Chains A and B, each alone.
Chain A
Amino acid sequence: GNSVTQMEGPVTLSEEAFLTINCTYTATGYPSLFWYVQYPGEGLQLLLKATKADDKGSNKGFEATYRKETTSFHLEKGSVQVSDSAVYFCALANNNNDMRFGAGTRLTVKP
């Protein structure tokens, strides 16, 4: 079945450091891939998405490229800020009623 495996946390970085959170997936068909973020005290919200191979999703300085050949969707940001501290979830879906989430990676950015 469909599943997502993401890098275990927690991840602690200094402000302006480069961020990578790895995500790989197993799926039938051609799923869409997502990164959701959960800031402290808030609900999950969509950060970015990609719907087909080689698409790059981007938002708020974060990027992820849908790599079919490596079944990956790694999240990157060139220079993190304290306000990026949150839990990040990789997810995939063949359709809306089958969205599967990874376990989440907690990021803490220190000033």
Chain B
Amino acid sequence: DTGVSQDPRHKITKRGQNVTFRCDPISEHNRLYWYRQTLGQGPEFLTYFQNEAQLEKSRLLSDRFSAERPKGSFSTLEIQRTEQGDSAMYLCASSRGSGTESGELFFGEGSRLTVL
């Protein structure tokens, strides 16, 4: 499978616990994105990497959220001290390209977080 893969697919946790999601992008893609999607809404941009550099973070990404892409390949999204409002589908996407051209994002199937 050469698509974007995310792990775990579903995580149930208690409020206050930390969770970490992993994304493996398509290997030749240098851009990696994290989005959050809640029921009945479209994906909302969280953050974006070009290779290992995190170039942009949305104001939706509070201090409890941290994302890394240490070697420019896979990425992790950690949520500390989870709150019930963090319950959502966390989507990862990757793309190739540089500059400002708009290309195609390839999405993973998402990691669903349920905070009890």
Main secondary structure of the interface of B (DSSP, over half): loop
A64 / chain B contacts, CB cutoff of 8 Å: none
B100 / chain A contacts, CB cutoff of 8 Å: 94-95
Chain A contact-residue range equals 20 to 34
A102-B102 contact in complex given A44-B91, A96-B31, C-beta closer than 8 Å: no
A31 / chain B contacts, CB cutoff of 8 Å: 102
Chain B 30-45: CB-based contact to A (< 8 A → 1; otherwise 0): 0101000000111111
Q: Looking across the interface, which residue of chain A has its beta carbon closest to that of B3?
A: A43
Alpha-carbon gap, A31 to B102, bound state (A): 8
B41 / chain A contacts, CB cutoff of 8 Å: 103-104
Q: Does A42 contact B (CB under 8 A)?
A: yes
A51-B110 contact in complex given A43-B4, A44-B91, A96-B95, C-beta closer than 8 Å: no
Q: Which of B66-112 contact A (CB under 8 A)?
A: 91, 93, 95, 97, 99-110
Alpha-carbon gap, A40 to B96, bound state (A): 26
Is the beta-carbon distance between A91 and B42 smaller than 8 angstroms? Answer: yes
Alpha-carbon gap, A34 to B33, bound state (A): 17
A43-B110 contact in complex given A93-B102, A95-B100, A96-B97, C-beta closer than 8 Å: yes
